[in-house]
């Protein structure tokens, strides 16, 4: 954990120093050490610092939500982006933008409602016989649901050309241009989800042993599932509202966390906290420099990097069940 926290601090500093603009690492470093440079100061504290903080929060939210969704669905391929949870939030916000919603709090509420609908659909599919027990079938069902929502979002773009540019910029997934006001608006949802996660972590670990054992220990499996659904909706909705849909983070982060923590969901959740931001910020830094002076959208880069991970997991001889 200490190593991961050190790496996260280093990546956060690099995120302040590197960008696609004219302010390079040496110039940014000189400003941080006291040199008066108004342009560098503006770029670092008004553009890169909020972007870095938002990346940390988004990484934590997506990483923890992925671990929770995999635990409650008992499926290692359960991930908000793959199963349509992020797509539900994205579609809801796109619809709200077309209908004239502009307030950040309203957008966040709409995204969380869309994510909640996506979570309910995911768990409903997971309860189907022959689907929930098969990771590949569950992913296929989630892909179909995501494809349907993506098609509906495309129809919205065709319906309202005035809002098309704003929606198109938002649904790709990016940390560019986000403000601290957006982060402040989602903090209450993040804090509420953190409290609920702290309450359900131990019962969720008992649920991994089976419903009968969890009930014998005094827990209520159905209540645990619905609380986890609420947490995932809050976290994914908040992350999607401020950064757009960012795929595969919720898949990769729990896998890496379990490599450090083992199968215990409580330890896994702790390790997701530094690993999620570490992956998101690293991908964001790469997205700034890979096509400089332009920027590659973060959602595109995570999809390019995450798809091979999914293929490798699917092609593995034994797919671990949770």
pLDDT at 278: 94
Cα 255 to chain centroid distance, Å, stands at 14
Residue pLDDT, tens place only, 100-115: 766 566 677 888 888 8
Rounded CA-CA distance 151/157 in Å is 10
- Following DSSP, what letter does each residue of 242-306 receive, concatenated? HH----SHHHHHHHHHHHHH-S-HHHHHHHHHHHHHHHHHHHHHHHHHTTTTS---HHHHHHHHH
The pTM (predicted TM-score) of the whole model is 0.86
223 to each of 64, 227, 268, how far by Cα in Å? 19, 6, 21
pLDDT at 321: 46
Rounded CA-CA distance 155/134 in Å is 32
Residue pLDDT, tens place only, 125-142: 666 555 555 566 777 777
In degrees, rounded to 5, the angle at the alpha carbon of residue 90 between the alpha carbons of residues 85 and 96 is 130
Residue 179 CA neighbour count, 13 Å, CB half: 4
Rounded CA-CA distance 227/54 in Å is 25
Using 70 as the pLDDT threshold, list the residues of the chain that sit under it.
Answer: 101-106, 122-123, 125-136, 160-170, 313-322
Nearest to 306 by CA among 270, 234, 255: 255
Domains and CATH numbers, the chain: 51-315 (1.10.3470.10)
- Following DSSP, what letter does each residue of 94-143 receive, concatenated? HHHHHTT---HHHHHHHHHHHHHHHHHHHHHHHTSTTTTT-HHHHHHHHH
């Amino acid at each position: 954990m200490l190593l991961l926290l050190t790496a996260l601090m280093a990546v956060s500093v690099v995120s302040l120093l590197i960008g696609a603009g004219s302010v390079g690492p040496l110039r940014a470093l000189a400003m941080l050490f006291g040199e008066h440079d108004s342009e560098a100061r503006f770029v670092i504290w008004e553009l890169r610092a909020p972007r870095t903080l938002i990346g940390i929060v988004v990484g934590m939210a997506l990483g923890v939500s992925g671990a929770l969704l995999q635990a409650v669905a008992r499926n290692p391929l359960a991930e908000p982006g793959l199963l349509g949870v992020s797509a539900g939030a994205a579609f809801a916000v796109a619809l709200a933008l077309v209908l004239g919603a502009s307030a950040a709090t309203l957008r966040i509420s709409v995204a969380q409602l869309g994510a909640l609908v996506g979570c309910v659909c995911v768990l409903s599919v997971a309860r189907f016989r022959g689907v929930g027990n098969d990771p590949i079938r569950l992913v296929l069902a989630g892909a179909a649901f995501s494809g349907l929502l993506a098609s509906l979002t495309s129809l919205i773009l065709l319906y309202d050309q005035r809002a098309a540019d704003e929606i198109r910029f938002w649904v790709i997934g990016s940390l560019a241009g986000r403000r601290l006001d957006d982060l402040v608006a989602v903090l209450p949802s993040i804090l509420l989800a953190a409290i609920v996660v702290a309450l359900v972590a131990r019962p969720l670990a008992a649920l991994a042993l089976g419903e009968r054992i969890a009930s014998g220990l005094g827990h209520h499996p159905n209540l645990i599932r619905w609380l986890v659904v609420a947490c995932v909706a809050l976290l994914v909705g908040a992350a999607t509202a401020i950064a757009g849909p960012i795929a595969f983070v919720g898949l990769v982060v729990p896998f890496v966390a379990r490599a450090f923590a083992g199968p215990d969901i409580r330890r896994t959740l702790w390790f997701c906290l530094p690993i999620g931001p570490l992956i998101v910020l690293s991908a964001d830094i790469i997205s700034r420099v890979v096509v400089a002076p332009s920027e590659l959208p973060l959602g595109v880069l995570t999809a390019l990097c995450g798809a091979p991970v999914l293929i490798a997991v699917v092609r593995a001889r034994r797919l671990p069940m949770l």
